[in-house]
């Protein structure tokens, strides 16, 4: 923990070498986050190490550098991931999904209403990232059965989850981190404090209603139908993949011209390259005759690729291993599924070869598509990034394994993979208990009980109220004791990328504050108060935070912007807490692209979206909510 005396040090006047060093580290962190040159969690650890090594300038000791791991925010987020996984493991959300399908029918208005009405409130009490991961196949299935393009529903699903995440303290990891940061800064700014569980529920409800109405009336009209309504949900709007097939020994295709071999398969596919002994051929393919072990690079739709996999003499290399005849016979009952790779997946930064995909998941990658289009390199050697979509052939057991793991988001409903439905009452009761321990007015209940019974000893009830971290950890233990989750499932329930990100950026926020860099930046922004009213300065912080979130991460933007916002508010004589809330809301609602918020990335492949689709729908929504949120903060908390 950081001693209270640290925060009593007045920020230095002018620019100091310490400030410049911290600004340089911050800039380097932003560049690494934007370029993804290193995985996000590795970047976070690099930030931590750099701050410690440069202690004479950053004022971050080794103890301070690793304090992010013991931060209440980090521990609380970790516990909330496990609690959310427990609810998901029971299949409760899938039951809700079936109710959505029954209600929505073929009416787009009802489909949108059901999507927003379920995703929003659920995300207020469960972490919104796993909520979207679970609902993507459900909503895709709703669209398919209702003859609606999934493109019309999946971005609204992601946006609604972000809006709903602002209903309570535990809706997003960003809220929890912002609360912890606000509590830490309260030593310097007395008007700041940790957020109560329902601190901003009233404003969050307004934001959810306004944003939901926008998505239902205007937003869906701005969304193109990237995926035709009559396309099976398995196609997920990905019209073009690139795949590789190897000419097997003894294949009847040997000796035939490469192009005629593809034409003879009877499917609509384009031969782009022939690879032989490491050499690539792209011209005169109609003249080159096939030899054993030649690799054909083919462009086609997912259905076509499935047909090519059945062509005699063409075999599919699975994670670097060729599929022989025995394997082919064993995979006749396998099905095609599309999976989206989230940024938290351990596959990010690996190749299909290095990840041993086939052995790990009992599934074979037919093809891969990146956020920018079909790949043009060897599949085995292509480095996977968050947002990539894999076309996978898997057995029933393999599909079940893919559905359970947090490594992927399946883009279609795969049925009920052995959910613990008998544990639904236990899981729901535990979540109610976690929320109740924090949210109930225990002091008031104690007063009422003592007054009604006259038993003074009942005043002990006033002490039942617990910190959200303690309450969440108690819920985790209870989940295991009740059998909702097994002990081994705790670790796979956690998005470790987020945990390491929090641990790495928290000390960066401390360095910004401790060296006076945050105060310097805050004073620079406060200079705008000379020609802008306080309300517009607040709006500037909201917009700036939203833009920063689009290029780094929501958690990183909160850590960077809250100290600056508090300093700026103090400099202009405004309410620092109002500025902290503006930063929190802006960081938790990223609508301009698929990168700023992971839920946006989850729906990118299944919706067949382009980057510009997010901007087209999200920019008006971001502008609308910036006005609604800033005015709401001013009215409810004052400036």
Return the pLDDT at 229. 64
Give the residue-averaged pLDDT of 616-627: 93
Return the pLDDT at 27. 86
Residue 170's Cβ-count burial label (10 Å; 0-12, 13-18, 19+) is buried
Query: Does the structure show a pLDDT above 90 at 241?
Result: no
Main-chain dihedrals φ then ψ at residue 467, nearest 5 degrees: -65, 150
Return the pLDDT at 578. 94
Beta bridge partners of 271: 298
Per-residue DSSP letters for 362-399? TEEEEEEEETTEE--S-GGGPBP-TT-EEEEEE-HHHH
Q: How far apart are CA 347 and CA 357, in angstroms?
A: 9
Contacts 24+ apart (CB under 8 A), 262-269: 262/296, 262/298, 265/307, 265/308, 265/311, 265/314, 266/307, 267/300, 267/304, 267/307, 267/308, 268/300, 268/301, 268/304, 269/298, 269/299, 269/300, 269/304, 269/305, 269/308
Query: Does the structure show a pLDDT above 60 at 258?
Result: yes
Provide, for the chain, the percentages of residues in helix, strand and coil under a 3-state DSSP scheme, each rounded to the nearest 5: 60, 10, 30
Q: Classify domain 237-410 by CATH number.
A: 3.30.70.1450
The structure tokens listed for 496 are: 């470790």
* Contact (Cβ atoms closer than 8 angstroms) between residue 391 and residue 338: yes
Cα–Cα distances in angstroms (integers) from residue 27 to residues 96, 146, 347, in the given order: 44, 48, 27
Tell me what percent of the residues of the chain surpass a pLDDT of 70: 77
The structure tokens listed for 592 are: 């301009």
The structure tokens listed for 317 are: 């290399």
Report DSSP state, residue 459. G
168 in helix, strand or coil?
Answer: coil
Query: Does the structure show a pLDDT above 50 at 126?
Result: yes
Query: Does the structure show a pLDDT above 60 at 331?
Result: no
Query: Does the structure show a pLDDT above 80 at 504?
Result: yes
Query: Does the structure show a pLDDT above 70 at 62?
Result: yes
Q: What is the pLDDT of residues 481-493, one digit of tens each?
A: 988 888 878 887 7
Return the pLDDT at 231. 46
Domains of the chain, residue spans: 237-410, 424-491
Return the pLDDT at 4. 34
Q: How far apart are CA 524 and CA 508, in angstroms?
A: 20
Q: What is the pLDDT of residues 85-95, one digit of tens each?
A: 888 788 787 77
The structure tokens listed for 550 are: 């689009």
Give the residue-averaged pLDDT of 452-471: 71
CA 454 to chain centre: 51
The structure tokens listed for 140 are: 């895709």
Q: What is the pLDDT of residues 507-553, one digit of tens each?
A: 887 888 788 887 777 777 667 666 778 899 899 889 888 887 876 77
Per-residue DSSP letters for 263-306? HHTTS--EEEEEEETTEEE-S-TTTPBP-TT-EEEEEE-HHHHH
Give the residue-averaged pLDDT of 264-289: 74
Query: Does the structure show a pLDDT above 60 at 322?
Result: no
Main-chain dihedrals φ then ψ at residue 204, nearest 5 degrees: -60, -35
Give the residue-averaged pLDDT of 232-256: 64
Counting DSSP H helices and E strands in the chain, the numbers are 29, 12
* Contact (Cβ atoms closer than 8 angstroms) between residue 368 and residue 382: yes
Q: What is the pLDDT of residues 176-199, one digit of tens each?
A: 889 988 988 888 888 899 888 888
The structure tokens listed for 403 are: 């559905």
* Contact (Cβ atoms closer than 8 angstroms) between residue 473 and residue 74: no
The structure tokens listed for 504 are: 């790495």
Q: How far apart are CA 501 and CA 199, in angstroms?
A: 25
- Among 9-13, 249-253, 317-321, top mean pLDDT goes to 249-253
Average pLDDT, the chain: 77
The structure tokens listed for 51 are: 């701050």
Q: What is the pLDDT of residues 281-316, one digit of tens each?
A: 777 777 788 888 888 777 766 666 666 665 666 776
* pTM exceeds 0.85, yes or no: no
Query: Does the structure show a pLDDT above 60 at 326?
Result: no
């Amino acid at each position: 923990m950081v001693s209270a005396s640290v925060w009593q040090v007045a920020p230095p006047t002018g620019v100091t070498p310490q400030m410049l060093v911290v600004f340089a580290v911050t800039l380097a962190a932003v560049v690494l986050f934007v370029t993804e040159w290193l995985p996000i969690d590795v970047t976070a650890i690099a930030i931590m190490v750099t701050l410690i090594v440069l202690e004479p300038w950053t004022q971050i000791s080794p103890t301070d550098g690793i304090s992010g791991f013991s931060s209440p925010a980090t521990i609380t987020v970790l516990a909330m991931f496990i609690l959310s996984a427990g609810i998901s493991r029971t299949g409760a959300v899938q039951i809700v999904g079936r109710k959505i399908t029954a209600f929505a029918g073929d009416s787009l208005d009802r489909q949108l209403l059901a999507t927003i009405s379920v995703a929003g409130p659920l995300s207020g009490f469960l972490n919104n990232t796993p909520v979207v991961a679970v609902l993507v196949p459900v909503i895709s299935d709703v669209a398919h059965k209702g003859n609606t393009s999934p493109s019309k529903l999946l971005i609204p699903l992601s946006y609604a989850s972000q809006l709903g995440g602002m209903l309570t303290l535990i809706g997003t990891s960003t809220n929890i981190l912002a609360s912890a940061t606000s509590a830490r800064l309260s030593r310097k700014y007395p008007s700041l404090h940790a957020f109560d569980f329902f601190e901003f529920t009233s404003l969050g409800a307004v934001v959810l209603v306004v944003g939901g109405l926008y998505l239902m009336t205007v937003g869906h009209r701005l969304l193109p139908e990237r995926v035709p309504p009559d396309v099976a949900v398995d196609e997920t709007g990905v019209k073009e993949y690139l795949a590789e097939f190897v000419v097997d020994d003894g294949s009847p295709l040997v000796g035939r011209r490469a192009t005629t071999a593809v034409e003879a398969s009877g499917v609509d596919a384009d031969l782009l390259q022939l690879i032989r002994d490491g050499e690539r051929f792209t011209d005169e393919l109609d003249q080159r005759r096939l030899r054993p072990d030649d690799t054909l690079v083919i462009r086609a739709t997912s259905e076509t690729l499935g047909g090519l996999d059945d062509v005699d003499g063409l075999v599919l290399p699975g994670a670097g291993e060729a599929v022989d005849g025995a394997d082919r016979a064993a995979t006749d009952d396998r099905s095609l599924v599309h999976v989206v790779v989230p940024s938290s997946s351990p596959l990010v930064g690996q190749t299909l070869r290095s990840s041993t995909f086939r052995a790990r998941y009992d599934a074979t990658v037919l093809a891969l598509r990146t956020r920018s289009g079909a790949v043009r390199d060897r599949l085995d050697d292509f480095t996977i990034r968050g947002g990539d979509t894999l076309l996978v052939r898997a057995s029933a057991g393999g599909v079940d394994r893919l559905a359970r793991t947090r490594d992927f988001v399946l883009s279609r409903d795969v049925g009920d993979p052995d959910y613990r439905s008998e544990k639904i009452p236990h899981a729901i009761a535990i979540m109610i208990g976690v929320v109740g321990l924090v949210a109930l007015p225990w002091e008031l209940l104690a007063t009422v009980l003592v007054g009604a019974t006259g038993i003074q000893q009942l005043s002990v009830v006033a002490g039942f109220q617990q910190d959200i971290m303690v309450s969440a950890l108690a819920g985790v233990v209870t989940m295991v004791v009740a059998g909702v989750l097994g002990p081994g499932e705790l670790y796979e329930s956690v998005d470790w990328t987020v945990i390491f990100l929090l641990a790495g950026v928290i000390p960066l926020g401390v360095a910004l504050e401790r060296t006076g860099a945050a105060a310097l930046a805050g004073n620079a922004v406060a200079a705008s108060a000379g020609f802008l009213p306080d309300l517009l300065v607040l709006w500037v912080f909201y917009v700036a935070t939203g833009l920063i979130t689009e290029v780094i991460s929501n958690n990183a933007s909160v850590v960077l912007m809250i100290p600056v916002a508090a300093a700026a508010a103090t400099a202009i004589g405004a309410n620092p807490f109002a500025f902290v809330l503006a930063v929190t809301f802006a960081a938790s609602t990223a609508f301009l692209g698929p990168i700023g918020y992971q839920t946006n990335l989850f729906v990118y492949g299944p919706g067949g979206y382009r980057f510009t689709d997010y901007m087209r729908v999200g920019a008006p929504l971001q502008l609308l909510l910036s006005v609604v949120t800033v005015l709401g903060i001013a009215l409810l908390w004052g400036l």
